[in-house]
Amino acid sequence: MTSTTHPQQTDAVTEHYDAVVVGAGVSGMYALLHLRGMGLSVRTYDGAPRIGGTWWYNRYPGARVDGPSAPLYGYTFSDELVKEWDWTETQSSQPEVLSYLDHFADRFDLRRDIELDTRVDDARYDEATQRWTIETGTGRCVSAAFLICAVGALSTPNTPDIHGIDDFGGRCLHTGHWPEEPVSFEGKRVGVIGTGSSGIQVIPEIAKEAAHVTVFQRTPQYTVPARNRPLKAEELALVRDNWEMVKAGMMAPPAADAALPMAPGNGRSPFEETPEQRHALYQELWEQGTLAFVYGNYAELLVNEEINREVCAFLQGKIREIVDDPDTAEKLIPDHFYGTKRPILDSGYYETYNRDNVTLVDLREDPIEEMTRAGVRTVMGEHPIDMLVLATGFDAISGSMLRLDPMGRGGIRLKEKWESRYHNYLGLMISDFPNLFMIHGPGTPGVLYLMPLGAELETEWIANCLRHMSERGLGAVEPTHEAELAWDEEVSALAEKTLFPRTDSWYTGANIPGKPRHFSVHVGGPAYFHRIAEIAEQGYEGFAFAPATSVGSNDREEDS
């Protein structure tokens, strides 16, 4: 890093970097490590007091990886890291994931380039210098040739606009912004709004401690047992001993004609099996628990209405079987296609409604009117509570980029650019925002793939692009508008093959009032990474590069 001055930039700029990374979560820390390894000067900023991103903020009781079993939720690039970190459970708990990320940061000496408690307030591109000016809430003003936005796909909490919420006399907590100190529910009457992954994880834990829990449910959800258990030493050894093969499996795309673009399914055709055989499979997968219920199922599950409805009927039967009170069971029965909202794994969620201290309020028949000082008033009456837990999710995928709201070429703000659609190319770049890269942005498989591995692969693509520019004396890159439109069509066409877009979910933005409804996730899974690699190999088709201007010409040589 140098303190070279760039004539077009404000005098307030005190430091110049090759790259600034926004966010010190799973993606941001990997980007820092990788780009620094190329000899670039990199600075990372994060508003949180500690590293970890979403794993720092989502510290509510019961939070754990509700996806692939350990060690698949972890970085893959370092065999040593894979070998030395002993995951203890199949679905790692939030404290364990955070410890792992702390270990990662220490092992690779990342902290010296991370500034915590430092939220990026603004980022503006200057065409003359081909650089970004970044301002932080702590008064820092720095410049960077490249802005890497690792701001998280699920990190901007959604706080519902409930009349009177600020007048509530008790404590109000959000699962996505949980306090650092332990929270006691003992003897308390607790209200929980929200029954997505976070609500379904936190409700059973609160119910074990609180005097009473009232769950305010707007949309019932399907959930499958997580069956979390200690990871056996031999299971970990098996993965470690076959790491290359395991990793290759994580990146292998399904055949081009696979029913579901993102996953191969179990290789069986539901149409060649009897209803009894299919039911036996669902039962087997239910007993197995985990996301095997999706990935070990028929590939048709997420594309075929008939098969999906059969799976829904199976799961509805489970709810009626588990929940003692028939009225409560009926309120818990979902009516959307299974899997088209993020599949949820639980540890005793439906069983929690058999407890004497848990009540379910169905907001569809009894909506919230307002919060009062003493509780929640619904149409049918008042529910007195001492504490309110909002498990109301996130302004997902695009929300954190919009919160950052960078200013691109010609003074355009991202909020303007993304007013009706999240224009981007490959989920990585946005036209009019040169040299800005996103990790897990809209248009990537992000939330439908392995987040750590996805972050590695996207970062590596970005790094290759920077290398390509450096070798050719190029100073700016951005996609063309045409490439963005074509990409949007490609992502949408893939999604249209599935049932995903037909359900209101945070994938479609339907959870946020006023947000454009658009399914913005690439459902190609590993095929996405092959696609973006192919585009790079073909000379970065769809991107426009500009030669380095003399004023902006990168600090890289001077810096290193």
Site for ligand NAP in 1-60 (CB under 6 A): none
- Which one, 194 or 427, has the nearer CB to ligand NAP? 194
Q: Work out which of 69, 156, 198, 228 binds ligand NAP, going by CB under 6 A.
A: 198
Among 21-29, 196-204, 373-381, 539-547, which window interacts with ligand NAP (CB under 6 A)?
196-204
Distance (Å, whole) CA 15 – CA 23: 18
Give Cα separations from 310 to 23, 302, 307, 539 (angstroms): 42, 12, 5, 46
Spatial contact of 155 and 54, defined as CB atoms under 8 Å apart: yes
Minimum distance of ligand NAP from residue 52's CB (angstroms): 13
Calculate ∠ Cα 498-500-504, nearest 5°.
Answer: 155
- Asked if 522 interacts with ligand NAP (CB under 6 A), we say no
Minimum distance of ligand NAP from residue 525's CB (angstroms): 15
- Asked if 331 interacts with ligand NAP (CB under 6 A), we say no
Beta pairing partners, 436: 147
- Which one, 198 or 459, has the nearer CB to ligand NAP? 198
- Where does 77-146 have alpha helices with state H? 79-84, 94-107
Minimum distance of ligand NAP from residue 381's CB (angstroms): 17
Other C-beta atoms lying within 10 Å of the C-beta of residue 184: 10
Distance (Å, whole) CA 432 – CA 479: 8
Distance (Å, whole) CA 113 – CA 258: 44
- Of 16, 131, 10, 7, residue with least CA distance to 560: 16
- Asked if 392 interacts with ligand NAP (CB under 6 A), we say yes
- For the window 199-218, what string marks contact with ligand NAP as x by the rule CB under 6 A? x-x----------------x
- Which one, 147 or 294, has the nearer CB to ligand NAP? 294
Give Cα separations from 202 to 41, 334, 510 (angstroms): 41, 19, 23
Minimum distance of ligand NAP from residue 400's CB (angstroms): 13
Give the CB-nearest residue to ligand NAP: 196
Q: Work out which of 34, 43, 59, 64 binds ligand NAP, going by CB under 6 A.
A: 64
What are the structure tokens assigned to 506, written together?
């945070």
Q: Is 383 helix (H, G, I), strand (E, B) or coil?
A: strand
Give Cα separations from 255 to 16, 216, 491, 531 (angstroms): 46, 43, 18, 14
Q: Work out which of 52, 61, 74, 194 binds ligand NAP, going by CB under 6 A.
A: 194
Distance (Å, whole) CA 65 – CA 76: 17
Spatial contact of 334 and 220, defined as CB atoms under 8 Å apart: yes
Q: Is 251 helix (H, G, I), strand (E, B) or coil?
A: helix
Among 2-10, 296-304, 309-317, 386-394, which window interacts with ligand NAP (CB under 6 A)?
386-394
Say which DSSP state 494 is in: H
- Asked if 294 interacts with ligand NAP (CB under 6 A), we say no
Spatial contact of 76 and 452, defined as CB atoms under 8 Å apart: yes
Minimum distance of ligand NAP from residue 382's CB (angstroms): 17
Distance (Å, whole) CA 333 – CA 329: 7
Distance (Å, whole) CA 534 – CA 232: 39
- Asked if 219 interacts with ligand NAP (CB under 6 A), we say yes
- For the window 393-412, what string marks contact with ligand NAP as x by the rule CB under 6 A? xx------------------
Minimum distance of ligand NAP from residue 313's CB (angstroms): 21
Q: Kindly determine how many residues on this chain lie close enough to bind ligand NAP according to the rule CB under 6 A.
A: 28
Site for ligand NAP in 340-359 (CB under 6 A): 342
What are the structure tokens assigned to 390, written together?
């909002």
Q: Is 238 helix (H, G, I), strand (E, B) or coil?
A: helix
Residue 517's φ and ψ, nearest 5 degrees, are: -85, 110
- Asked if 70 interacts with ligand NAP (CB under 6 A), we say no
- Of 63, 64, 25, residue with least CA distance to 44: 25
Beta pairing partners, 15: 142
Minimum distance of ligand NAP from residue 506's CB (angstroms): 4
Minimum distance of ligand NAP from residue 122's CB (angstroms): 27
Q: Work out which of 391, 494, 499, 527 binds ligand NAP, going by CB under 6 A.
A: 391
Minimum distance of ligand NAP from residue 444's CB (angstroms): 14
Among 198-206, 230-238, 254-262, 415-423, which window interacts with ligand NAP (CB under 6 A)?
198-206
Among 36-44, 63-71, 306-314, 519-527, which window interacts with ligand NAP (CB under 6 A)?
63-71
Q: Work out which of 26, 70, 151, 154 binds ligand NAP, going by CB under 6 A.
A: 154
- Asked if 65 interacts with ligand NAP (CB under 6 A), we say yes
- Where does 356-433 have alpha helices with state H? 399-404, 414-417
- Which one, 348 or 408, has the nearer CB to ligand NAP? 348
Among 7-15, 117-125, 388-396, 425-433, which window interacts with ligand NAP (CB under 6 A)?
388-396
What are the structure tokens assigned to 40, written together?
């670039």
What are the structure tokens assigned to 78, written together?
């370092």
What are the structure tokens assigned to 81, written together?
């890291």
- Asked if 296 interacts with ligand NAP (CB under 6 A), we say no
Among 126-134, 193-201, 287-295, 314-322, which window interacts with ligand NAP (CB under 6 A)?
193-201
What are the structure tokens assigned to 123, written together?
């980022």
Residues in contact with ligand NAP by the rule CB under 6 A: 63-67, 154, 160, 175-176, 193-199, 201, 218-219, 342, 363, 391-394, 447, 506, 511
